Each structure stands twice: as C-alpha cells, then as structure tokens.
Structure 1
C-alpha cells in the first residue's frame, strides 16, 4: 500500500515536468546567492560549517527551526523583534545551507545539543533565551536540561518531546529502499504536500515558500542527511521515556501551539503543560504546525510579552497579524 501511494505521488509529480522532480543537486553558489543576505555568516564547528544570521540589538534570543526547514522560517519574528533583541538563528545540521555532517548516519539528540553548545561557544554567547519549533523545540528543551545556567527563558512552538506517530511522509521516507530513493529524487510536489499539511490555512502557502523549501532540500547532501534525520526521529519517537526528564526543566517556559497541528498534536502540548513546573500556554485557532510562519506578528508579540514580563498577553484575533 505504501509503495502504491508513493508511485501515485511520483506520477503526479512527473506531470509537473522534470525540473521539479528534484533529481540532482543545486550548486552551492546558486543557493548561497539566493538564500543569504548581509546578516548571513558561516562558522566552522568541528568539521561542519554552519550557516547562521546575527541580527538586531539587545538581549540574545536564539531561534531553532524544525525538521526539513531552515533559519528562514523565522523571517517574520526577526522583523517583529530585531529592534529589541539580538537574534541568532542557525541552519541545523543536515538542513539549509549548513548541510549534513559527513561523519554521521544518525543525528541523535546528544549530538544536536552538543553541536548547538559548541556553535554558541564559537559566537561567545553565554546567556540567552531559546525558542524552537518542532525538532528545534526538541533540541531546545534538551539544551535547557544540558545547560540550565545559559537559558533564561524557553519558548516551545509545536515541539516534539513525547512518544507519538510520525507524520506520514517522514515515516515513509525513513523506510528502507524508499529512503534511498528519496536521496536521489525529491519532487517539488512532495515538498508542497508537506508544507500544506503543516499549515492550518492553505491560502498562506505561496509558490515562493514551496520553492525555498524545495531548493534547500536540494543542497548537496541534504536529501541523504534528511533521511537520516527522519530515521533518527522515527527511532526516538517510539521511546517510552522520551519526555521523562521534561519535569526537571525549571526554566520559565512558554508553549505556543497551533490547534490544527497534524504533526505534533495538542495531546503532546498537554503533556508538556502537565510536566513543566513553570509554564504558560497559548494555542492558536486555525493554525498548524508552524505558528511563526502562519501568524508571525501575533506569535512574535506573544513571545515578546513573555520574554519581557514572564507573562503572556494575546492580541484580539481580528487584529493580531495586522502589523
């Protein structure tokens, strides 16, 4: 059944033409020209050269994107918050312009947390607030356990953290043979299908957004790296002790969650709410897995309220993303 479904998807993708089939890689020179700006920097952390952006002034806020995404997912937050914060966002290993670590075939949480710590050491950043979405949220709360002395406040947006079913496309791409096929070919249609599934409002999924996600998937090595990330997540997602240490996080924490999230559902949020000793919660009606993309103004303002006061203040829904 899975193979039949995959072949149907591939057939639909083929109708859009060979250019969108995602065969071959995009040159790094082209991707760097299109997806860096004057705030982009690169730094070597061990054997991995990591792409990041360092913008704004004020207390440091570190932002971690989700699986199969990139630092660009935070564009709206940066526009809203850069006048009040120094914002550091990074392409995680196997993602964006950073790309895969050639020495790895699994990206376990210890590796991700230690890589983040070394990255921040390189930048000389020792005290900051930390926000993460999805996989980035999983890394964020584990980092708060690893280095509680460094994290002032923690914001988790639709974060992974408890046993759950994997999203279909990630579970499917992690399968033997299918995963190897995905390393060769990543059709734009599949990327578009993923983004539509992650959003609560399909009308907010633009062709430019799909192009960016697809282009960065085609960075040399990223398809193989992402399959290895999916396989790591699949192994971890069924660990009954996955969230066993959440209750040890004493950092003040804000949960921001889309009520229409099909990837990390509200049942996961409720487990975080139950276990975190110092937690505030905001959920967004009609929003999916990535509130910082779907409703950047409202979610950023809710984050700023929490960062500044430790409390949350929600704007009326009718005006929240009106600027």
Structure 2
C-alpha cells in the first residue's frame, strides 16, 4: 500500500467536514463523538483483571507461567492486539497485557494526567508496582514501544529485555497523519468525528496484508477507542509525545533490545530500525519484508517466533 494513502483519505474527509462546519459557523464543541454500541466478544473469552491505584484502574490479563513479560499495545489499540502473541509467549513466560491510560478498558482517575512520555512511563511503573513486578521484559508496539523505551530510560534496572515493534524513538520522520492531529481545531474534529469507517481505514493502513483486517478486529478496536476519555487521551498523545526525550536518552538503555520492524511500514520508514538499534548500547534490528506497521498482527508467523526467541 502506498505510504500514507489512508492518511490522505482521512485528511480529505475531515477537511471537507471542517470546511462545512466553518461555513455554517458551527462550533466544534457542538459535536458529539459517534456512539458505538458493541459487546466485546474478546472480553468474554478472556479473564479480565483490574489493578486499582490512585492513578488508574488498570485493565490487564495474565497468562502462563515463567519469567514475566509485559505487552503494551500501540496508540488507539489495547490488549486485544496481542491475542495471537499471548498464547505463544505464555508457553515459557508469565505474560501480562496491560491497557495504559487512553487504551482499552483502563479507567484514569486523575484529571491532570499529562499524556506525555514521562507520564506514560510512570503510569507503567505504577502498574508494575501494583501487580508486584520489580523487573520484567517489555514488548511494546508503536506508541507502546515509545512508552516502553522511555520507561527503560527512566528505570533501567527494572527492564530485563526490551522489544520495540515499529516504535518511534528517534527525533526523526513522523507518521504522515501527524499534522492533522496536531493542528488546532482540525485535530479535535478529526478525533471527535472518527467513526467506524474512518477507524477501519486507519487500521487497514497499518497492514500490508489488508485481508487480515476483519470486522471483529475493527469492532474490538473501535469500541475501545470510543470509550469515554480514550478519544481525548489519544489526541493529547499526538500533541504531547516528544521524541527528542527518547532520542537524547538512548544510551541509558542497558537491557538487551530487539528492534523489530515491518519493511512495508506506511507509518514510519523501516530505515529507522537500523538507525535506532545503532544508537542503543545492546540492540539488534530485524526488518521483516512485506510486513506493515502492525507487524505482529500483519505477519504473526514471522514476528511471534522472533519475539519468542529473543525473550528466551
């Protein structure tokens, strides 16, 4: 898929809506986000757990036995994203899949949460403390990888291994849709007016094998994205994540690190994989040809064994 094609479609659609609103002098706050009534089938198949803290009521799952591994999904995604990864890693590990603030079914309890890299890294620390994990391996995808990377910079002694899947961390190229969400008013409208169709198009844009994007995948993702607070958190993250912080602290990561990237990533160029790994003290880079940004769902037969071998 041509790089950024879904972003251009979304930008055009939102721009048309924005033009209409301005022409009619309708204020942005008069609009309410589209509602989506959906009963999650995935939640009925798993054992949800909750860790209650002053910061948030964290939703998570625990599967398997062995050394701990914590999985952190990307932006606008949640633990469902790891549904194929969890059973395989759980053969040798105790696998936690956690929703951080703005994700899934976690409920934030503080109105002053910053939604920036330090806040997300500290939220992860709060969760780990709540479930009694002093040290763990971390696997993060996209934004979840950036949060994991910054956690490893702030708390290096707490990370045994670090896997970064198509994760921003360099002060370098950004996703092509970034200007849409970072522009005042346009960002608010793009977020509030994102319906299931726009959401589906964005998900498909992260896959090279678009036939793998099922209705269930879209419904599970959109239902979580549409929960109260998650849209606002999503927009705040677009505007507050500053990768100059991660770029400046790459030499502080002492854990063995795997940088895994889809060679056909339409969000972030695969050239960042080698550049990121070269800046980390103990890292290797693997680029999987023909795989998109959501590499663990787009190419599970290549990604999951690579993760299992690295974590072993």
Give the shorter-chain TM-score range. Answer: 0.7 to 0.9
CA contact (8 A) 2:162 2:255 kept: yes
Compared CA separation, residues 105 and 172, structure 1 to 2 (3 A): farther
Aligned-residue offset at 1:136: 0.9
Residues 1:158 and 2:166 are matched in the alignment: yes
CA contact (8 A) 1:93 1:101 kept: no
CA contact (8 A) 2:274 2:285 kept: no
CA distance in 2, matches of 1:31, 1:98: 16
CA distance in 1, matches of 2:166, 2:59: 24
Compared CA separation, residues 143 and 23, structure 1 to 2 (3 A): closer
CA distance in 2, matches of 1:97, 1:113: 18
CA distance in 2, matches of 1:34, 1:202: 21
Structure 1 counterpart SS, 2:100: coil
1:318 corresponds in structure 2 to none
CA distance in 2, matches of 1:260, 1:32: 30
CA contact (8 A) 1:73 1:293 kept: yes
Structure 2 counterpart SS, 1:223: helix
Which whole-Å deviations, capped at 9, do the CAs of 1:243-270 have from their partners, x for residues lacking one?
Answer: 1211221211111110011212123212
TM-score (normalised: structure 2): 0.85
1:228 corresponds in structure 2 to 236
Residues 1:68 and 2:76 are matched in the alignment: yes
More displaced 10-residue stretch of structure 1: 98-107 or 255-264: 98-107
2:200 corresponds in structure 1 to 192
Compared CA separation, residues 3 and 183, structure 1 to 2 (3 A): closer
1:302 corresponds in structure 2 to 306
Compared CA separation, residues 47 and 149, structure 1 to 2 (3 A): closer
1:106-185 matched pairs, under 5 angstroms:
106-185=114-193
2:284 corresponds in structure 1 to 280
2:22 corresponds in structure 1 to none
Structure 2 counterpart SS, 1:261: coil
Which whole-Å deviations, capped at 9, do the CAs of 1:38-81 have from their partners, x for residues lacking one?
Answer: 42111222141111111111110111111111111111111212
CA RMSD of aligned residues (A): 2.6
1:210 corresponds in structure 2 to 218
Q: Which runs of 5+ in 2 are unaligned?
A: 1-7, 19-30
Aligned-residue offset at 1:168: 3.5
Between the two proteins, the alignment pairs up a number of residues equal to 293
Residues 1:50 and 2:54 are matched in the alignment: no
